[in-house]
Amino acid sequence: MCRWIAYRGDTVPLEQYVTAPAHSLVVQSVRALESTASTNGDGFGLGWYGSHAEPGLYREVRPAWSDENLKHLCRHIRSPMFFAHVRAATSTPTNRPNCHPFVHGKWMFMHNGQVGDWSLIRRRVEELIPDEFYKSRIGTTDSEAMFLAILGANADADPIAATMRTLTTLTELVSTSGTTEPLRFTAALADGQNLYAFRYAANDAANTLYYRTSEGNLLLVSEPLDKDRESWIPVPPNHMVLAEVGKPLEIVPIDLAVRIAAE
Amino acid sequence: MCRWIAYRGDTVPLEQYVTAPAHSLVVQSVRALESTASTNGDGFGLGWYGSHAEPGLYREVRPAWSDENLKHLCRHIRSPMFFAHVRAATSTPTNRPNCHPFVHGKWMFMHNGQVGDWSLIRRRVEELIPDEFYKSRIGTTDSEAMFLAILGANADADPIAATMRTLTTLTELVSTSGTTEPLRFTAALADGQNLYAFRYAANDAANTLYYRTSEGNLLLVSEPLDKDRESWIPVPPNHMVLAEVGKPLEIVPIDLAVRIAAE
Amino acid sequence: MCRWIAYRGDTVPLEQYVTAPAHSLVVQSVRALESTASTNGDGFGLGWYGSHAEPGLYREVRPAWSDENLKHLCRHIRSPMFFAHVRAATSTPTNRPNCHPFVHGKWMFMHNGQVGDWSLIRRRVEELIPDEFYKSRIGTTDSEAMFLAILGANADADPIAATMRTLTTLTELVSTSGTTEPLRFTAALADGQNLYAFRYAANDAANTLYYRTSEGNLLLVSEPLDKDRESWIPVPPNHMVLAEVGKPLEIVPIDLAVRIAAE
Amino acid sequence: MCRWIAYRGDTVPLEQYVTAPAHSLVVQSVRALESTASTNGDGFGLGWYGSHAEPGLYREVRPAWSDENLKHLCRHIRSPMFFAHVRAATSTPTNRPNCHPFVHGKWMFMHNGQVGDWSLIRRRVEELIPDEFYKSRIGTTDSEAMFLAILGANADADPIAATMRTLTTLTELVSTSGTTEPLRFTAALADGQNLYAFRYAANDAANTLYYRTSEGNLLLVSEPLDKDRESWIPVPPNHMVLAEVGKPLEIVPIDLAVRIAAE
């Protein structure tokens, strides 16, 4: 289990949420409270939108808590939409391409969870990635493969439908693979304008996800950044968060069949 | 293009060939003489056989020339059969799983060259790897994929035939992929007892390979370790070196069709 | 606070104590039980004596738990005397020269503790290092500085007296520096033949130290490697362990004045 | 010998000079043309002024040419004044605190050169650093020590005089140390408003330094970034470049005695 935060709102320095709060993401890298893996020291990453359509990316294999560069970058980089992620590796090596977030063109993605027994269904998930996106597969995680599968399911046309289609396929792959390990997918996806987050699981409880809104700014977190628990609202299991340009924030159920049928 | 050395003979400290010679592998990491990439600073690796059937492995992303650990390990580790490799990355990231050598059970492999346009045929090469070996695919290089494909072609039964079968398939894949980039395969394979080396290319000149024997000890190198050029014998293009237990050293042509037919 | 182990006895693979036990040092790197810093993820190191008078050394900034090289080296390196250390950094950066153990010629040293307020007395401690040893100062930790000060106090002639002299000076420096922070010195020193360990503190409780002997083999640990608590004997505070060639193991009080006067 | 660039002018993305030019600093990290060390692969660093008085800093031990983060940061960070540096280590380890630039409060510094035989005069140079700045000494290079010595010589009051005083002392230290190795100091110093660069040597030729101005923007480089040689003007040996707020650019001789007397 990893820990992450996603922000969409007024332009702020990343430090405001990544390093400054009492229980900031960097503090969580040492000691998370709502995670089976209390230490999230297997690398980390920052992704942010700025003056380019394509997001910036900083990923490093060292633990977030001891990285001097991270402090400098969080202080100096300002963004209206960014992701930050600290990793607790499951079965894949600790190297930069396996750190979150992942980017491709304007798209950015990060994930907390797992896809059943990865060694059992890895090939099947890789097969979901069309050739044009497979070229961008530079790591070996389930998370990166799911991201590229979602893009391959035509996220450009409809990111929600693409994610639902991919989750439907993944749920089937896991259930028919013979594993008893769950599919857990607490993830965030963004295109620079819109931000989507998902709290989904099959065969298990979904990994935690909270949000907080303040003056139109949205913050999504694996666990609250401070003890003001009332300000942090849990996203219900099997729900998703839609923060789209020109629309009010929506928290809606993930109903795989309905969404896909609606296309 | 990378640089490598492989040794089989009396037990010696690794430093004897990796760091001590005038034009040692570590010197080649800064300035190689017979390579298009004169700097081989994209990580390196050591693999050695010792008291276990499975080889030891040390791989690191920093350049070999500045790694203090490398000096210590080369001084203290003694082995009768070892590989050392300095990398000049082509299109895959610099991380440990992408550094050579690669190991699986008793097998060890390293490579200098390329497999046509990797982005074009990568999926086809991955498909050559049987499921039982695909679990060990922790990086994204063409070299690791070829190694696992060779193991999947039953290297345990006949490593030469397995390599020939794989090279035959790779040659076809490259030639039908539409690329003009060559297949270049200057590689070493070992099982702890026997050492095999290959200098092969399709559509191009084969990458250099030299050997030197002295009192029954065999050293294979991408380029000579000193200026005593007479002691270093070039392996002819499209030939392979067979150093097997209880047999004399053999340098024989790589004739893909003949070897496979002879099985 | 860091965690460490030191071994002297029959030649064994390092994995026997570094990675294999239920509460091995690598497990302690994730979750230590008797340390204020439960995570010791700020780098680690191995030092071992082998066929050379000078020890081998492997230090790395990544956490011990995620380092693939560490597993390989611990399986393949065998030694009759070795140190292993996982670091929880206090105020100095996480880089290799700041990782323990430290080596100089035949000497090897590692430390758990602190020297008062390092920023206050750093210059004074540096001044204790004679020029001939100052050249070897490649990091910035208090631990490395104390090691070089001990060597400068003529460890070659009498390592115990040299350590006592240095501790005496350090105790004075800390007490006159105006800090309320303690001097804590739970450390190991070896020359390839003899092994010394110290559990000392001024102005505070001394950091834990345990030992276990079995068939003439000595193991010293920051905290027990398994739940067989009876086999692990605490070294009393302000005592030292002397394991010297041809002498029985001794646990004796650290009486700074007495030892120095006895010279 | 290292390679560096310094920029002062309109706000631009760092990539404009660090990665984009034909012979960019990143290209120079692989193959420099006017340096004894053609490969500058022992780490690198970026420092830039932005919305804070204190500069941002990104330093990494990997070679600049293979760092994916560097490309992202250079594309996304925009600044009116920045330094970039690729390192060829001389005698100190490759770790982040030994990479340039160095920062302290509003000040930033980087250096190409050496200070005689560092092992001979290191202690004398460390002694030049007042206590209040010695706390910031986190590495072991001559360059960082000189920077802190310059700050200690009251750079806040007069950075040029502080640098002249420090160079005077260093020149004496080197000449009386008995070494035949030179003092070479091609360096840049900035406070967020003003930029200073120095090309100085004692007992040797000064390391190269060029500048180019265009529409009020100043670029200083170890060697030209492209083949338009006419646009790059060599700073004469033992001269300095003064780019101060509200003043025209000045290239003036370094006359240690005169400058100090003028105070």
pLDDT digits (tens, 9 = 90+) for D187-209: 999 999 999 999 999 988 999 99
CA distance B172 to C194: 63
**Chain D closest CA to C103's CA: distance in Å?**
15
The whole-number pLDDT of residue C258 equals: 55
The whole-number pLDDT of residue B255 equals: 83
CA dihedral D113, D119, D121, D126 (to 10 degrees): 90
The whole-number pLDDT of residue B258 equals: 55
**Chain D closest CA to B192's CA: distance in Å?**
33
Between A29-33, B15-19, C245-249, D41-45, the lowest mean confidence (pLDDT) is in: A29-33
The whole-number pLDDT of residue A17 equals: 97
pLDDT digits (tens, 9 = 90+) for A232-261: 999 999 999 999 999 999 999 998 765 555
Residue C60 pLDDT exceeds 70: yes
CA distance A211 to A200: 15
CA dihedral C154, C157, C161, C162 (to 10 degrees): 20
The whole-number pLDDT of residue D1 equals: 73
Give the nearest partner residue to C62 out of A30, A31, A62, using CB atoms.
A62
CA geometry: angle at D249 spanning D243 and D251, to 5°?
95
Nearest by Cα to D46 from D35, D55, D37: D55
C248's CB contacts (< 8 A; 6+ apart) are: none
Contact between B126 and A126 using a beta-carbon 8 Å cutoff: yes
Q: What ipTM goes with this model?
A: 0.94
Measured between CB atoms, does A135 come within 8 Å of chain D? no
The whole-number pLDDT of residue A259 equals: 54
- Residues of chain C with Cβ-Cβ distance to B76 below 8 Å are 48, 50-52, 56, 77
Residue A34 pLDDT exceeds 60: yes
Compare all CA atoms of chain D with the CA of A77 and give the residue at the minimum distance: D77
Compare all CA atoms of chain C with the CA of A43 and give the residue at the minimum distance: C62
The chains found to touch C (3+ Cβ pairs under 8 angstroms) are A, B, D
- Ranges of residues in chain B with a pLDDT under 70 are 257-263
Measured between CB atoms, does D82 come within 8 Å of chain A? no
Measured between CB atoms, does A95 come within 8 Å of chain C? no
Give the nearest partner residue to C95 out of D96, D122, D126, using CB atoms.
D96
Mean pLDDT of A174-196: 95
Residue D15 pLDDT exceeds 80: yes
Mutate to test the interface with D, among B33, B39, B42 (most CBs of D within 10 A): B39
Between A16-20, D181-185, D249-253, D257-261, the lowest mean confidence (pLDDT) is in: D257-261
The whole-number pLDDT of residue B210 equals: 98
The chains found to touch B (3+ Cβ pairs under 8 angstroms) are A, C, D
The whole-number pLDDT of residue D262 equals: 52
Contact between D42 and B66 using a beta-carbon 8 Å cutoff: yes
- What is the percent of chain D with per-residue pLDDT over 90, rounded to a whole number? 89
Contact between A96 and B93 using a beta-carbon 8 Å cutoff: yes
The whole-number pLDDT of residue A255 equals: 83
pLDDT band at residue D258, thresholds of 50, 70 and 90?
A: low
8 Å CB contact between C243 and C262: no
Residue with more model confidence, D260 or B65: B65
H or E, element range at B13: strand B3-13
Interface of D with A in 32-51 (CB under 8 A): 48, 50-51
The whole-number pLDDT of residue B34 equals: 87
pLDDT digits (tens, 9 = 90+) for C183-229: 999 999 999 999 999 999 998 899 999 999 999 999 999 999 999 98
**Chain C closest CA to D96's CA: distance in Å?**
7
pLDDT band at residue C257, thresholds of 50, 70 and 90?
A: low
Burial class (CB in 10 A: 0-12, 13-18, 19+), C130: middle
The whole-number pLDDT of residue B243 equals: 98
Residue A82 pLDDT exceeds 90: yes
Contact between A39 and C30 using a beta-carbon 8 Å cutoff: yes
Contact between B72 and C58 using a beta-carbon 8 Å cutoff: yes
Compare all CA atoms of chain D with the CA of B37 and give the residue at the minimum distance: D30
8 Å CB contact between C214 and C207: no
Radius of gyration of chain D (CA): 17
Measured between CB atoms, does D92 come within 8 Å of chain B? no
Measured between CB atoms, does A56 come within 8 Å of chain D? yes
Total CB pairs under 8 A between chain A and D = 48
Contact between D97 and C95 using a beta-carbon 8 Å cutoff: yes
Contact between C66 and A42 using a beta-carbon 8 Å cutoff: yes
Contact between A138 and B96 using a beta-carbon 8 Å cutoff: no
Please tell me the pTM assigned to this model: 0.95
Measured between CB atoms, does C31 come within 8 Å of chain A? yes
pLDDT digits (tens, 9 = 90+) for C128-166: 999 999 999 999 999 999 999 999 999 999 999 999 999
CA geometry: angle at D213 spanning D212 and D216, to 5°?
160
**What one-character-per-residue DSSP string does D1-29 give?**
--EEEEEEEEEEETHHHHTSSTT-HHHHH
* Pairing between β-strand C233-234 and β-strand C210-214 as defined by DSSP bridges: antiparallel
Contact between B59 and C78 using a beta-carbon 8 Å cutoff: no
Measured between CB atoms, does D102 come within 8 Å of chain A? no
Residue D36 pLDDT exceeds 80: no
pLDDT digits (tens, 9 = 90+) for B239-261: 999 999 999 999 999 987 655 55
The whole-number pLDDT of residue B256 equals: 73
Compare all CA atoms of chain A with the CA of B141 and give the residue at the minimum distance: A138
Residue D64 pLDDT exceeds 70: yes
- Residues of chain A with Cβ-Cβ distance to D60 below 8 Å are 69
pLDDT digits (tens, 9 = 90+) for D68-84: 999 999 999 999 999 99
